[in-house]
Structure 1
């Protein structure tokens, strides 16, 4: 089908007034060039015969739908795409654009204007162009990392275990020794064992998500013995607050323990069953209030 005939179809369907036909046609020519070069990744000359551009009949309904959407404010992602106003390095943008583009492509198959083999080829091509599957993986990974950050706050503390300091008669404090930072990097052998069976990008994303899910559960599990230890101390000392356990006469008005206690309180609030088990085991109550 001639590109000019596709333009005429669009003008008729959208009800463009006669006075605007020339300007709309010029606009459609520019958008057709973008579609061929930036979407199909082909040269305009590949489709030219003489002075005319010819679009394969099976592709023509999809091309028409995409060109129409590129001028329709109901499809803002496609409009901005054809105007080269999108940052295609952004995962959310790519995923949103892909979901928007799928509809007019599939519509051409649903209406029977083209076959679904052609529809699937277009969807696969656009998915590859936008790296849409990887964009969706990235979005899920970002969400998983944020979930990891919030769910494992109880294991996020700045308590400097191992620091030793002395206080002189004037109340001034100085370090005798400071704890060394731990090196918790995985060995090359462990890393190699993780990636050995990974071959494509999709594999890496799948395993990254699996590792994060495992780490969330592991961090939550490892938080319980710490809370249990404080619960035992609460029972023995009969203190009303965890702050009383670390309060010293020579301490300053701030402590790295205070924000950590708040995180523990939130963890306890979101894990009622585990908290109940700890309270029963240590024969204590009101652990949440103890850490608040």
Structure 2
């Protein structure tokens, strides 16, 4: 084969390669006048060159045909993935529209308005409770207390007292023994002082004044050894065995003695 034919074949191959690369979107990365290797210097059989060229052209043709088949038409609308799924799921045949009542109604939250005046309601209840307590206290203060005569004395941090009208013969004797054993200097107090002044409020005020007179201090303990008239009370009352209980159980005398000396 002459040199002229070799050059012609080389040029043809180069032209075909550039066309194939251009169709594949690959631009030339060298200039046409760049130095290249002469294909004549490469010893390749002519059959191999022809076979490779035919194989490249055939593969390019197959790839271009597949690209043309998969390429969308220019005038065809482009659908998103969600629209395509919806379009494929809708049957082509016409159907009667479904009534709204047959569909599942969407959830719509319903606003509720609560017109509750909690503060005023609570204040009203509290005011009613306070009024009830005040009314009850007023009724209790206006209640009358049965007349009583108290006798008592101070021993250490204690005030011991009895209601003389509640004493029996035996309990009176036991009370005298206690006052002698403790060397109590007893004083008496009678209520009411004046006729018509028998209310609970006045009775408790008289009792508090009598206890303070005996003990000479506000935080003193008070031991009541007999029952008192209903309605009488004092914040310093301490539970101790009463005279009647000590008469039934002599061991309670020792209990009283231990309490007084704690």
User: Smaller-chain TM-score range?
Assistant: under 0.3
Structure in which a larger fraction of residues adopt strand = 2
Structure in which a larger fraction of residues adopt helix = 1
Larger Rg computed on CA atoms: 2
Q: Normalization by structure 2: what TM-score?
A: 0.20
Q: Normalization by structure 1: what TM-score?
A: 0.18
